[in-house]
Amino acid sequence: MSVSLIMTNFSAGELSPRLGGRVDLAKYSNGLNLLENMQTHPHGGASRRSGLRFILEALGRNLIPSGALDSLSGWTAGSGWSIASAKAVCDGSQVSETGLVRDLDMEDGVSYEVCFEINEYSGGSVCVSCGGARSESATAEGTFKVALASGGVSFSIIADADFCGSISALELRRINPETRLIPFEFSTEQAYVLEFTDHNIRIYKNGGIVLGDDGRPVEIASPYRAGDLEKLRFTQSADVMYFVHPEVQPYKLSRSSHADWTMEIVSFSSPPSDWNSEQGYPSCITFFEERLCFAASPKRPQTIWMSRSGSYEDFGVSADVVDDDACTYTLSADQVNAIRWMVSSKKLILGTSGGEWWLSGGSGSDVVTPNSVMVRRETTHGSAAVPPVVVGSIIVFLQRERKTVRELSYSFEADGYIAPDLTILAEHLTRVNTIQEWTYQQSPDSIIWMVRDDGVLLGMTYQREHEVVGFHHHRTDGRFGSVCVIPGSGQEELWTTVTRTIGGIERCYIERMEDQFNGPDSTGAFFVDSGLSYDHTEPAEVFYGLEHLEGRKVSILADGAVRPDCTVKDGRITLDSPARIVHAGLPYVSDLKTLRIEGGSPAGTAQGRLKRISHVTVRLFESLGLQVGYDEKNLERAPFRTSADRLGGAPVLYSGDYDVKFNRGYDRDGQIFIRQDQPLPLTVLALIPEVSVYK
């Protein structure tokens, strides 16, 4: 006898294989064996994640010094070369190959991008060289961009015996630099993403890079090297962001206008004597009770320094100590408890290497003063040196080994703070990997996004008030890097760096996850990675601007319908027929696989018994184009196009129950596999299998 079962929701997310026998667990019926490139919603369904929209390539600072093309100073010039007025001129008087050479701060074996313009050209050819590696020769006027792997520190512009022309707008930048994204949020309308690379900052807003009055990207000199970025910590007050690093004195970044930014050393009044180049500088920072708080220098890892109340850069103390004076406090413990992070709440919450603490005024409800401080340790799990995320009144932090996610919240039953493990049901996602960076996206679905050390992006849908904790993981054709979230027009925006291999060279791209899909048809569906969108007034066949995917095969959705994949050549793709609204980018596959089915046996459990799924009813919402089967090798594509659909046009989005027959006999697992490999939306609300269990 067959029985209809129903999987009503997937809010428990992807569960560990070690829970394969825990059919008694309440979350088993809401969990999945696999949830890749799909995410759970707090209300139960699972949807394909949105695609990643390409913004810009992350490049290092320009290694050509400002004014380098104003004089020959620093250059070694061969015959025919001269420099003046921001350009290098080769007058054609050379009788053989000649070069303009300069030693620069290049790294051996690292790829660099060289950009330059040729003007006043009258003949011959010119190329550039990084430590001996030469580019192809240019033989015309125009703007040129080449990628070269450095073989040393010597940079050259090399002209043949016939070249006559000028070189200007010269730039030399590292490809695939170490990059960190930091949100700068003044308001929901004035939110920026800061791109930190080696000694350089660039700024993004409204889905693009911020340009100066000269039409070039705004760049700010930074004191931080590439190796400093991981330990960089920050806090913000209005248009000023403060930065700390244990080896660099504190700096602040100030925004005066959209394109006017300043990075400068913080000029403290009466700074603590412990802060210097020998003893180091604080490594943690936050605001608390109108004070700017610093903590944990290399020599004093358990010490907290608080500024004067209302005067963030003043650490002075009066002759007769008053309540608003600066104050210093050192944790007392039976072991070294180096402070890893601080979070401002009703109390100052501290994460240390040995446990989690809080600091407040003397009575627990009073404000902190130099003569009134109370400190208590609440838990002893120990924290990683990764700033936590705050979700409502709950602090979510990483345990010190960077594998376990815990939530720190107040418990009335325990009359104190507790920190239960959130990863215990999905420990397989971090069993052999660690979490390097994370961020919190409040809307639309309350997800904590985490980047693993292998470049996989983890998501945890989290709503404690509804007891929703569901993990999912995401892959792309490359490796995820830094992540951050800023407010957007429709929802909060997730920005990320992705390292992709293009033409044999690893490049770092800044990409933004598209807003969650909300119909009403598939025309606006964006389910490609590193993709671009086109909206032409008239249909076209050729679409430009895809140089960042040169040589790669891309998926295409044109006017809501899937088109054959195209290979990018010379930065463009050519469709088989004209279209007006086109989305093109790298394909990715979304998979959902259920756990072993439980139920349907009159003799008790169905576990270990032979069973057969005759068909499955998939309850869908605004979806198209899924495949269903019992594993990834045995899938059948569900047809959605009907005779009522216009030939070559997009089918109508499907919402409702879709019945799929299973062409398989009996097995002991009884699992359902769903895949979406086309650039189309997919939301699964429930699964209703028809199951027969062999007695």
pLDDT band at 644 (very low <50, low <70, confident <90, very high): low
Omega of the bond leading into 444 within 30 degrees of 0 (cis): yes
Q: Supply the pLDDT for residue 364.
A: 56
Say what percent of the chain tops pLDDT 70: 98
Which strand (E) or helix (H) includes residue 229?
none
Closest C-alpha to 141, from 119, 158, 109? 119
The more confident residue out of 320 and 54 is 54
**SS3 assignment, position 658:** strand
- Is the pLDDT at 599 greater than 80? The verdict is no
Predicted confidence (pLDDT) per residue in 620-643, tens digit:
999 998 999 988 888 988 888 776
Q: Supply the pLDDT for residue 365.
A: 63
Q: Supply the pLDDT for residue 366.
A: 79
Q: Supply the pLDDT for residue 648.
A: 63
Q: What are phi and psi of 564, to 5 degrees?
A: -60, 145
Q: What b/e sequence results for 501-513 when a residue is b if at least 16 CB atoms lie within 10 Å of its CB, and e otherwise?
A: ebeeeebbbbbbb
- Is the pLDDT at 590 greater than 70? The verdict is yes
Q: Distance (Å, rounded) from C-alpha 630 to C-alpha 614?
A: 11
Average pLDDT over residues 102-129: 95
Q: Distance (Å, rounded) from C-alpha 398 to C-alpha 435?
A: 8
Predicted confidence (pLDDT) per residue in 149-174, tens digit:
988 899 999 999 999 999 999 999 99
Predicted confidence (pLDDT) per residue in 506-527, tens digit:
999 999 999 999 978 999 999 9
Q: Supply the pLDDT for residue 411.
A: 83
Which strand (E) or helix (H) includes residue 299?
none
Predicted confidence (pLDDT) per residue in 272-288, tens digit:
999 999 999 999 999 99
pLDDT band at 614 (very low <50, low <70, confident <90, very high): confident
- Beta-sheet strands, E only, within 70-153: 76-77, 81-84, 87-90, 98-103, 111-123, 126-130, 133-134, 142-149
Q: Distance (Å, rounded) from C-alpha 189 to C-alpha 572?
A: 34
Predicted confidence (pLDDT) per residue in 173-213, tens digit:
999 999 999 999 987 778 999 999 999 999 999 999 999 99
Predicted confidence (pLDDT) per residue in 88-106, tens digit:
999 999 999 999 999 999 9
Predicted confidence (pLDDT) per residue in 324-381, tens digit:
999 999 998 778 889 999 999 989 999 999 999 999 987 656 789 998 899 999 999 9
Residue with tokens 């890892």: 301
- DSSP codes of every residue in 337-385: --EEEEEESSSEEEEESS-EEEEE-TTSSSPPBTTB-EEEEEE-S-B-S
Average pLDDT over residues 591-605: 83
pLDDT band at 417 (very low <50, low <70, confident <90, very high): confident
Q: What b/e sequence results for 604-613 when a residue is b if at least 16 CB atoms lie within 10 Å of its CB, and e otherwise?
A: eebbebebbb
Closest C-alpha to 434, from 411, 456, 412? 456
- Is the pLDDT at 300 greater than 80? The verdict is yes
316 and 308 Cβ atoms separated by less than 8 Å: yes
**SS3 assignment, position 497:** strand
- Is the pLDDT at 489 greater than 90? The verdict is no
| Residue 590: exposure state from Cβ atoms within 10 A (0-12, 13-18, ≥19) | buried
Q: What is the pLDDT of the chain when averaged over all its residues? A: 93
Predicted confidence (pLDDT) per residue in 8-23, tens digit:
999 999 999 999 989 8
Predicted confidence (pLDDT) per residue in 357-371, tens digit:
999 987 656 789 998
Q: Supply the pLDDT for residue 251.
A: 98
pLDDT band at 610 (very low <50, low <70, confident <90, very high): confident
Q: Distance (Å, rounded) from C-alpha 678 to C-alpha 650?
A: 13
Q: Supply the pLDDT for residue 457.
A: 98
Q: Look at the pTM and tell me if it is higher than 0.85.
A: yes
Average pLDDT over residues 549-563: 96
